[in-house]
Amino acid sequence: MKNRNLNQWFWKWHFIAGIISLPFIMILALTGGIYLFKDNYEAPKQAHIKTVESTGKKQSFDAQYKVAQSHSKVPLTEMVIPTGDNQATEFVSGRFSHKNSVFVNPYTNTLQGKISPKDSDMHTVRKLHGELLLGKFGTKIVELVASWMLVLILTGLYIYWPSKKEGLKALVRLRFKEGKHVFYRDLHALLGFWVSILLLMTLAGGFPWTDVFGSNFKWFQGVTNTGFPKGWDGHGMNSTTTNNNALSLDQMVNKANNLNLEGITCIVLPKNEKKVFSVYNTTFNLDLQQKFHFDQYSGKLIKAYKWSDVGILMRGRMWFMAFHQGQFGKTNFAVMLFVAIALFIISLAGLLSYVKRKPKNKIGVPKVSKKFKVGYGIIALIAILGIVFPLFGASVLLIILGEYFMKLKKA
């Protein structure tokens, strides 16, 4: 049997979490669902830049690099090895939102075009999803909303779990004939219950992008040595300069191809005459991702890393982030699209249920017995959540202080 007073207390906080979060969650669900179609949307728009007509003999990669660099305002940092004869060669500068790509026709050795994520409509969708178009302040709001989503899920699971009298049939019950309020309430609870695990997995994939939690998580990875191994990015590695004849880009492409890496293979160019060539691959099968560092003069392998060399927290983080973006093939894509649609429906049903039951001229916060005292276990859980998710902890303190001053005012 559930504790009735505890159930009511959880219901109160579930309500507060919903009031804070649901309108924003609907935006995140909608934009997240749209962003899943990023590649489908951009592919036809970028096809004239990424694909070329296969005619004649290909120019050397070194010659193509010179053309690409002449059309780039900043130094190019890496090259993506083409996987087909009809592909333009991509040279990249910058990373993440600052990434820019220059594409060269390998047959004519001329500029095929440029692509910048900032020029895409999907970039706006991503900005809306990640920061509500409000910059750093917006990322804090999204992080706060995501934190309260955890409260919604955890309290919702307890509230919805049926009593002994109701039985497990309540977990599949959707009542159509008891009014709109009951229908929306059942839809909200039923769908929320059955997708709760997927929602938690989706949140786990989104939190690493946040400012406060994300920064703390990276710090924790560092102190526990569970992130990328030292040297993964090639920092601190130097080539042994025996002469001024560095390997050509074409020679490095041959070395990279001989590695027979899965997926897309990229070559990171040396930043100066002392640094190294780095080769890595990107593939949906994270276990097959590898990274190699080569002396830019002798071509000698300095260091090789496998995905198993990466710390457990980083491996978990990257897995959940890829899952969040639907990158593990069609099934993962379909699951994440379902989660986005389900989350929007859950949020909308919750708001409609509230509107139907809301007392006139009142917010309608559920009342809890004044005699009820929260157990130490619950207090400890809230404290832990407040430490792990600092913005959530700060918001709980503000709510508690607000309630305290309201009681003083009424006294």
- Asked whether residue 321 is assigned to any structural domain, the reply reads no
| Domain span at 365 | 4-36+124-218+337-410
Q: What is the mean pLDDT of residues 180-206?
A: 94
- Asked whether residue 96 is assigned to any structural domain, the reply reads no
- Asked whether residue 320 is assigned to any structural domain, the reply reads no
- Asked whether residue 53 is assigned to any structural domain, the reply reads no
The encoded tokens of residue 176 equal 């159509």
Number of structural domains (the chain) is 2
pTM: 0.90
Q: Are 128 and 210 found together in one domain? A: yes
Q: Are 198 and 243 found together in one domain? A: no
- Asked whether residue 304 is assigned to any structural domain, the reply reads yes
Q: Are 213 and 134 found together in one domain? A: yes
- Asked whether residue 117 is assigned to any structural domain, the reply reads no
Three-state DSSP at 265 gives strand
Higher pLDDT, 114 or 404: 114
**Do residues 404 and 162 make contact, with C-beta atoms less than 8 angstroms apart?**
no
Q: Are 205 and 235 found together in one domain? A: no
Q: Are 132 and 156 found together in one domain? A: yes
- Residue 368's pLDDT band (boundaries 50, 70, 90)? confident
Q: Are 273 and 406 found together in one domain? A: no
Question: What integer pLDDT is reported at residue 365 of this predicted model?
Answer: 82
Q: Is the pLDDT at 1 greater than 70, yes or no? A: no
Per-residue burial over 292-328, b = 16 or more CB atoms within 10 Å of its CB, e = otherwise: bbbbbbeeeebbebebeebbebbbebbbbbebbbbbb
Q: Are 212 and 236 found together in one domain? A: no
Q: Are 130 and 182 found together in one domain? A: yes
Q: Is the pLDDT at 324 greater than 90, yes or no? A: yes
- Asked whether residue 95 is assigned to any structural domain, the reply reads no
Integer CA distances (angstroms), 230 to 226, 238, 281, 303, in order: 11, 14, 18, 11
Q: Are 134 and 245 found together in one domain? A: no
Question: What integer pLDDT is reported at residue 56 of this predicted model?
Answer: 87
Per-residue pLDDT of 371-396, as tens digits, reads: 888 899 999 999 999 999 999 999 99
Highest mean pLDDT (candidates 134-143, 171-180, 366-375): 134-143
- Residue 400's pLDDT band (boundaries 50, 70, 90)? confident
Q: Are 292 and 183 found together in one domain? A: no
Per-residue pLDDT of 62-86, as tens digits, reads: 999 999 999 999 999 999 999 999 9
Q: Are 395 and 347 found together in one domain? A: yes
Q: What is the mean pLDDT of residues 295-322?
A: 96
- Asked whether residue 54 is assigned to any structural domain, the reply reads no
Q: Are 363 and 293 found together in one domain? A: no
Q: What is the DSSP letter of 136?
A: H
